[in-house]
C-alpha cells in the first residue's frame, strides 16, 4: 500500500478547490487598468491576392486606437518550423515564411490580414467591419492529391505544394518491396485518418503589457509551454530580448496540443501594447478557434501488410499524404514523420518496414500535433490492416496479434522502424484484456443484441507509443531544432516547507497534486507543505513544457534529481550538526540519523540551519538549500496497451452505440491512480470522438463547413460509456528514476481502431461484406456501407 499521500496514493486534487469555486485565473479573466482590446480581420476566402487594404474608415470609428496590417510586420521574422525534415533525395523541406499578419496573399479562411486595437472588443469588432480589403479570390487548393499534381501553389515562391517527400527508413525500401513481392499473403488497406479540431473548451487568449520605463513586456497567454513561446517570439519573430519578455501561462483550459504552438496573435498584442502604450488583450471566439487553432491528423494512407499463411508478419509498407495546411505550425513536420514513421512496427516483430510520407500544403488551417500526434495515425493504420488480414486468413484477432508480439524476454527490443523499446509485456496486456472482455459470454451478448434487431461487434486493438519526449541528442540528429529536456528547481524554505518551480505546465494534468506526492515521499514530509510553481518564465527554470506525455517522465525526473541534490547537501549539513562524517549519516522518513545510533536531526532543523548558518562549516558548504536539475531522457518511454470495445449497430439506421469499452494500459509505475484513470478516460473520449463523431470538413472552395459546435460534433456525455480501466500490468520504464512512461495520450491512440474494428465485426456478423469504413463512422456512412 502506498504511504498516505505519497507515491501511488489516490490523492484528490488540491487545485480543484479554486476551479470548483470559480477562483481559477485563466488568461481572459485577467483585467488590467486601461486595457484595450484587439480584434482581427480574417480572410473569408481560402486563397486570395491582397490588392489593397483601406483602413481609413475603420481608423475613424469610435474608440479605435490603432490598426495593424501585414505591412507593419514585413521587417520582423516569421513563425518557424521547429523540426527540419529532409526529403528522400536529401533536399531540405520547403519552409515558406509564416508572417504575423498575412502579407501579399491570404492562404486560408481565417488567415488574419489586419487587426484593430480599440477601447473595447465591441468597438474593435465594429471597426474591423469597416476595413475595406480588396482581396481577389483565387482557386482554392484543398485536396492533397490535386495539390501535388497541379501548378496552383499555396506559396508561389516555392513553386510546389509538396513540403517534403520523406522515407523511413529509406535504406529498407528495396527490402520491403522485395518482401511484399514474394509474400504468401498481402493485405492492402486504403484509409483516411480524419482531420480533427482540438477544441480545448477555453479559447486561445493573449494579454500583453509593455513597460516603457525599461522597455520590457509581460505576455499572459494560453500556452502549454511558456518558455518555448518566449523563445520563438524572441529569437525568431519579434526579436524582443528574452530578458525583456516574461511569458506567463496561468490557468489554461485544456490544450491537447493546440496550445503548444506560438501563434501570430501573441506577437500582435505585444506589438500593439507597445504602440498604444496600454495593455492589449485578444480572446478568440469559438469560430476563430475552429478557423485558426492548429488542427490534427488529416492523413490519406495506403498500407500493405505482408505475412505468411500463419499470419506471421513479414513487412509493412505505407504511403501517406499528410496535410500541413497553409503554413508550417511549429511541430507540424515532426508529427507525420518522427512521431508516425518510427511507430510503424507497433507491438510486433516485423523484419522490415518502410514508410513514405509526403507533406502537402493546402489552403486550410495549419495542421500540427493533436493528442497522440502521429502515433494515433500509426496505430490506426497498423491495427486496421492487421484486423483485415486476420479476417482474410481466418485467424482470431487476438491470436494474430499474439503470434507477432515482441515477447517479454526480448526487451530491450530494437525494432525495424528505428526505435528501441526499453520494456513491455504485450502478452500480459492481451491476457488481461481477454480476461476482462469475457469472450466466452460474447456469443450470448451478441444473441441478445440480435434479438433486439441490432448487430453486435467486438473490436480488439493494441498500441505502443513513444512518449516522454524526448532525448535531445537523438531528436537533434533527426532534425529537431530544440532540445527536449526539462527542468525543476526545489527550494527548501527556512522553516522546512518547499516551493518547486517546474518547466512542465499543468492544464488539467494535476501536477500541483502529484508532484508534491513524489517529493513529499522522498523527503518524508507532508505533501501539503510543498507548493508547485509553474507557467511563469520569470519564476521557473527553462523547461520545455507539457505535451507528448512528458510532464512526469521528463520534468518529474528533473524534480527527482533536484530533490536528490537537496538530500545530498542536507546530509552534509546534518553530519556537521550531528558531529559525524557524511558517510555515517543516513536519511529516512524525514530524519538524518548517525548509523547505529539514536543521534538524529529532522529535515526541518537542517533547513533552518541552512538559512541561519550559525556554527556552520561555511568554508565547505554554501548556506541555503535550493537545487536545480535539468533532465534529458536517455530514450523515449513506451507505454502500451490492449483495448476492446463492444458496439451495437442498428442495421436500419447505421447508428452505432458503444456498449462496453475496456482499456488495459501499461503506463509504467503509477504515481496517482485517479489522475492516470482520468487521463485515460479523456483520451478514450477523444479517440471515440474521432472514430464516431468528429471530422473537420472543408468544401472545394476551402470553406470550413464544420466551423462551430453546431456543425462539428463534439462528444457529449450520452455518446460515451463508463470506461473499464486496468493498469495492473506494469513494466517500469528502465531509464528514468520513477519508472514512469506517461498516460496522457494513450486513450486517444488506442481507441479509434478499437471502435472501427468493432463496427466492422458487427457488420460482418450481419453478413455484410464490409472491410473498412472511414472515420467518423456516422450513421450515414455506416448505413451506406451496408447497402
HSE on the CB side for 133, CA within 13 Å?
28
* Residue with smaller CB distance to another protein, 22 or 394: 22
Could you give the CA distance from residue 633 to residue 722 in angstroms, rounded to a whole number?
A: 35
286 binds another protein (CB under 8 A): yes
HSE on the CB side for 746, CA within 13 Å?
31
723 binds another protein (CB under 8 A): yes
Q: Least distance to another protein from the beta carbon of 743, Å?
A: 13
17 binds another protein (CB under 8 A): yes
Among residues 49, 74, 174, 201, which is the contact residue for another protein, using CB under 8 A?
201
Among residues 724, 767, 780, 784, which is the contact residue for another protein, using CB under 8 A?
724
* Residue with smaller CB distance to another protein, 518 or 670: 670
Quote the DSSP letter at residue 93.
P
12 binds another protein (CB under 8 A): yes
Buried b (16+ CB within 10 A) or exposed e, 234-268: bebbbebeeeebbbbbbbbbbbbbbbbbbbbbbbb
Among residues 47, 172, 199, 423, which is the contact residue for another protein, using CB under 8 A?
199
* Residue with smaller CB distance to another protein, 604 or 641: 641
Q: Least distance to another protein from the beta carbon of 711, Å?
A: 9
Secondary structure of 393-405 in HEC code, one letter for each residue: HCCCHHHHHHHHE
Set of cell numbers at residue 514: 502529484
Among residues 260, 502, 562, 684, which is the contact residue for another protein, using CB under 8 A?
684
What is the size of the binding site for another protein (CB under 8 A)?
Answer: 63
376 binds another protein (CB under 8 A): no
DSSP-based three-state secondary structure for 97 = coil
Could you give the CA distance from residue 646 to residue 650 in angstroms, rounded to a whole number?
A: 13
> CA 437, 443, 448, 451 torsion: positive or negative?
positive
Q: Are strands 216-221 and 205-211 parallel, antiparallel or unpaired?
A: antiparallel
680, 665 Cβ separation under 8 angstroms = yes
19 binds another protein (CB under 8 A): yes
18 binds another protein (CB under 8 A): yes
* Residue with smaller CB distance to another protein, 356 or 672: 672
Q: Least distance to another protein from the beta carbon of 143, Å?
A: 29
DSSP-based three-state secondary structure for 246 = strand
90, 479 Cβ separation under 8 angstroms = no
Does 165 sit behind a cis peptide bond, omega within 30 degrees of 0 on the bond before it? no
Could you give the CA distance from residue 682 to residue 679 in angstroms, rounded to a whole number?
A: 5
Q: Least distance to another protein from the beta carbon of 29, Å?
A: 4
* Residue with smaller CB distance to another protein, 284 or 416: 284
Could you give the CA distance from residue 767 to residue 730 in angstroms, rounded to a whole number?
A: 40
Q: Least distance to another protein from the beta carbon of 717, Å?
A: 4
677 binds another protein (CB under 8 A): yes
Q: Least distance to another protein from the beta carbon of 316, Å?
A: 31
Q: Least distance to another protein from the beta carbon of 723, Å?
A: 6
* Residue with smaller CB distance to another protein, 26 or 413: 26
595 binds another protein (CB under 8 A): no
Q: Considering only 7-15, 65-73, 610-618, 776-784, which stretch makes contact with another protein by CB under 8 A?
A: 7-15
DSSP-based three-state secondary structure for 343 = helix
705 binds another protein (CB under 8 A): no
Q: Considering only 147-155, 224-232, 503-511, 613-621, which stretch makes contact with another protein by CB under 8 A?
A: 503-511
443 binds another protein (CB under 8 A): no
- Closest-CA residue to 639 (of 404, 415, 423): 423
Q: Least distance to another protein from the beta carbon of 449, Å?
A: 18
Rounded to the nearest 10 degrees, the angle between the axes of helix 603-611 and helix 557-577 is 80
Q: Least distance to another protein from the beta carbon of 626, Å?
A: 30
Q: Least distance to another protein from the beta carbon of 256, Å?
A: 7
435 binds another protein (CB under 8 A): no
84, 243 Cβ separation under 8 angstroms = no
Q: Least distance to another protein from the beta carbon of 36, Å?
A: 14
Q: Least distance to another protein from the beta carbon of 11, Å?
A: 10
Among residues 22, 90, 394, 441, which is the contact residue for another protein, using CB under 8 A?
22
* Residue with smaller CB distance to another protein, 6 or 203: 203
730 binds another protein (CB under 8 A): no
Q: Mark 148-187 with x for binding to another protein (rule: CB under 8 A) and - for no binding.
A: ----------------------------------------
Among residues 709, 765, 778, 779, which is the contact residue for another protein, using CB under 8 A?
709
* Residue with smaller CB distance to another protein, 663 or 763: 663
Among residues 40, 164, 256, 413, which is the contact residue for another protein, using CB under 8 A?
256
Rounded to a whole number of angstroms, the distance between the first and last alpha carbons of the chain is: 55
Secondary structure of 698-743 in HEC code, one letter for each residue: ECCCCCECCCCCCCCCCCCHHHCCCCEEECCCCCCCCCCCCCECCC
DSSP-based three-state secondary structure for 136 = strand
129 binds another protein (CB under 8 A): no
26 binds another protein (CB under 8 A): yes
Please list, in sequence order, all residues whose beta carbon lies within 8 angstroms of the beta carbon of residue 227, skipping any fewer than 6 positions away.
247, 503, 537, 540, 542, 543, 544, 545
Among residues 725, 733, 763, 777, which is the contact residue for another protein, using CB under 8 A?
725
Q: Considering only 309-317, 486-494, 586-594, 713-721, which stretch makes contact with another protein by CB under 8 A?
A: 713-721
Among residues 2, 3, 5, 29, which is the contact residue for another protein, using CB under 8 A?
29
710 binds another protein (CB under 8 A): yes
Q: Are strands 280-283 and 36-42 parallel, antiparallel or unpaired?
A: parallel
Buried b (16+ CB within 10 A) or exposed e, 716-740: eeebbeebebbbebbbbbebbbbbb
Could you give the CA distance from residue 225 to residue 262 in angstroms, rounded to a whole number?
A: 9
Q: Least distance to another protein from the beta carbon of 678, Å?
A: 5
122 binds another protein (CB under 8 A): yes
Q: Considering only 102-110, 393-401, 590-598, 709-717, which stretch makes contact with another protein by CB under 8 A?
A: 709-717
Residue 282 parent element (H or E)? strand 280-283
DSSP-based three-state secondary structure for 779 = helix
Q: How many helices (H) and strands (E) does the chain have?
A: 19, 28
Residues in the chain: 787
Other Cβ atoms closer than 10 A to 12: 12
110 binds another protein (CB under 8 A): no
Q: Considering only 294-302, 491-499, 507-515, 525-533, which stretch makes contact with another protein by CB under 8 A?
A: 507-515
Q: Write out the residues near another protein by the rule CB under 8 A.
A: 12-13, 15-26, 28-29, 31, 122, 199-203, 251-254, 256, 285-287, 507-510, 674-675, 677-678, 681-686, 688, 708-710, 714-718, 720, 722-728, 747
Amino acid at each position: 500500500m502506498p504511504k498516505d499521500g505519497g507515491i501511488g496514493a489516490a490523492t484528490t486534487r488540491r487545485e480543484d478547490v479554486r476551479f470548483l469555486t470559480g477562483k481559477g485565473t485563466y488568461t481572459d479573466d485577467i483585467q488590467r487598468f486601461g486595457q484595450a482590446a484587439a480584434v482581427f480581420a480574417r480572410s473569408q476566402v481560402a486563397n486570395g491576392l491582397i490588392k489593397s487594404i483601406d483602413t481609413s474608415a475603420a481608423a475613424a470609428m469610435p474608440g479605435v486606437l490603432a490598426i495593424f496590417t501585414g505591412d507593419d510586420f514585413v521587417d520582423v521574422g516569421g513563425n518557424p518550423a521547429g523540426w527540419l525534415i529532409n526529403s528522400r533525395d536529401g533536399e531540405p523541406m520547403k519552409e515558406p515564411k509564416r508572417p504575423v499578419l498575412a502579407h501579399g496573399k491570404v492562404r486560408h479562411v481565417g488567415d488574419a490580414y489586419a487587426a484593430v486595437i480599440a477601447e473595447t472588443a465591441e468597438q474593435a469588432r465594429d471597426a474591423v467591419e469597416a476595413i475595406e480589403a480588396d482581396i481577389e479570390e483565387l482557386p482554392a487548393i484543398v485536396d492533397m492529391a490535386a495539390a501535388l499534381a497541379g501548378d496552383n501553389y499555396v506559396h508561389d515562391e516555392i513553386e510546389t505544394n509538396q513540403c517534403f517527400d520523406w522515407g523511413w527508413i529509406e535504406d529498407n525500401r528495396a527490402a520491403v518491396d522485395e518482401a511484399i513481392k514474394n509474400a504468401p499473403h498481402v493485405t492492402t488497406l486504403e484509409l483516411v485518418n480524419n482531420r480533427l479540431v482540438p477544441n480545448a473548451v477555453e479559447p486561445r487568449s493573449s494579454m500583453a503589457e509593455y513597460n516603457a520605463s525599461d522597455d520590457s513586456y509581460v505576455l499572459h497567454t494560453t500556452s502549454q509551454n511558456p518558455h518555448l513561446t518566449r523563445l520563438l517570439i524572441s529569437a525568431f519573430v519579434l526579436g524582443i530580448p528574452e530578458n525583456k519578455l516574461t511569458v506567463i501561462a496561468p490557468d489554461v483550459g485544456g490544450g491537447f496540443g493546440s496550445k503548444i504552438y506560438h501563434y501570430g496573435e501573441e506577437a500582435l498584442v505585444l506589438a500593439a501594447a507597445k504602440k498604444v502604450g496600454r495593455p492589449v488583450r485578444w480572446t478568440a471566439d469559438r469560430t476563430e478557434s475552429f478557423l485558426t487553432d492548429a488542427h490534427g491528423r488529416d492523413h490519406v494512407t495506403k498500407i500493405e501488410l505482408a505475412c505468411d499463411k500463419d499470419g506471421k508478419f513479414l513487412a509493412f509498407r505505407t504511403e501517406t499524404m499528410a496535410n500541413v495546411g497553409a503554413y508550417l505550425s511549429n511541430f507540424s513536420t515532426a508529427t507525420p514523420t518522427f512521431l508516425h514513421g518510427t511507430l510503424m512496427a507497433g507491438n510486433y516483430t516485423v523484419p522490415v518496414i518502410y514508410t513514405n510520407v509526403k507533406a502537402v500544403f493546402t489552403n486550410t488551417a495549419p495542421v500540427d500535433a493533436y493528442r497522440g500526434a502521429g502515433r494515433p495515425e500509426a496505430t490506426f493504420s497498423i491495427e486496421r490492416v492487421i484486423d483485415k488480414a486476420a479476417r482474410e486468413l481466418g485467424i482470431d484477432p487476438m491470436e494474430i496479434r499474439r503470434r507477432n508480439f515482441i515477447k517479454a524476454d526480448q526487451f530491450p527490443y530494437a525494432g525495424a522502424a528505428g526505435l528501441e523499446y526499453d520494456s513491455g509485456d504485450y502478452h500480459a496486456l492481451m491476457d488481461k484484456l481477454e480476461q476482462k472482455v469475457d469472450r466466452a459470454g460474447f456469443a450470448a451478448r451478441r444473441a441478445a443484441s440480435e434479438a433486439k434487431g441490432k448487430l453486435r461487434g467486438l473490436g480488439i486493438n493494441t498500441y505502443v507509443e513513444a512518449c516522454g519526449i524526448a532525448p535531445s541528442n537523438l531528436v537533434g540528429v533527426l532534425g529537431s531544432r530544440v532540445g527536449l529536456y526539462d527542468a525543476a528547481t526545489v527550494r527548501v524554505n527556512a522553516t522546512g516547507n518547499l516551493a518547486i518551480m517546474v518547466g512542465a505546465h499543468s492544464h488539467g494534468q494535476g501536477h500541483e497534486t502529484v508532484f508534491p506526492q513524489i517529493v513529499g515521499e522522498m523527503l518524508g514530509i507532508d505533501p501539503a507543505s510543498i507548493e508547485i510553481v509553474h507557467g511563469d518564465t520569470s519564476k521557473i527554470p527553462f523547461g520545455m513544457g507539457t505535451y507528448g506525455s512528458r510532464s512526469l517522465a521528463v520534468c518529474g525526473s528533473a524534480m527527482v534529481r533536484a530533490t536528490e541534490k537537496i538530500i545530498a547537501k542536507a546530509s552534509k549539513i546534518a553530519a556537521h550538526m550531528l558531529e559525524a562524517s557524511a558517510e555515517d549519516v543516513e536519511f529516512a522518513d524525514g530524519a538524518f540519523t548517525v548509523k547505529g545510533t539514536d543521534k538524529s536531526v529532522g529535515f526541518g532543523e537542517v533547513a533552518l540551519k541552512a538559512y541561519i548558518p550559525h556554527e556552520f562549516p561555511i568554508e565547505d558548504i554554501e548556506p541555503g538549500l535550493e537545487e536545480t536539475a535539468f533532465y534529458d531522457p536517455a530514450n523515449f518511454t513506451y507505454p502500451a496497451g490492449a483495448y476492446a470495445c463492444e458496439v451495437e449497430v442498428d442495421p436500419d439506421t447505421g447508428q452505432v452505440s458503444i456498449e462496453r469499452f475496456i482499456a488495459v494500459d501499461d503506463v509504467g509505475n503509477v504515481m496517482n491512480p485517479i489522475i492516470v484513470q482520468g487521463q485515460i478516460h479523456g483520451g478514450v473520449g477523444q479517440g471515440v470522438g474521432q472514430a464516431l463523431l468528429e471530422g473537420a470538413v472543408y468544401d472545394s472552395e476551402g470553406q470550413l463547413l464544420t466551423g462551430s459546435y453546431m456543425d462539428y460534433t463534439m462528444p457529449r456525455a450520452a455518446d460515451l460509456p463508463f470506461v473499464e480501466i486496468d493498469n495492473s500490468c506494469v513494466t517500469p520504464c528502465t531509464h528514468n528514476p520513477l519508472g514512469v512512461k506517461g498516460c496522457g495520450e494513450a486513450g486517444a491512440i488506442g481507441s479509434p481502431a478499437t471502435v472501427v474494428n468493432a463496427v466492422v465485426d458487427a457488420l460482418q456478423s450481419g453478413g455484410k461484406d464490409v472491410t473498412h469504413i472511414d472515420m467518423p463512422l456516422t450513421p450515414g456512412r455506416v448505413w451506406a456501407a451496408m447497402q
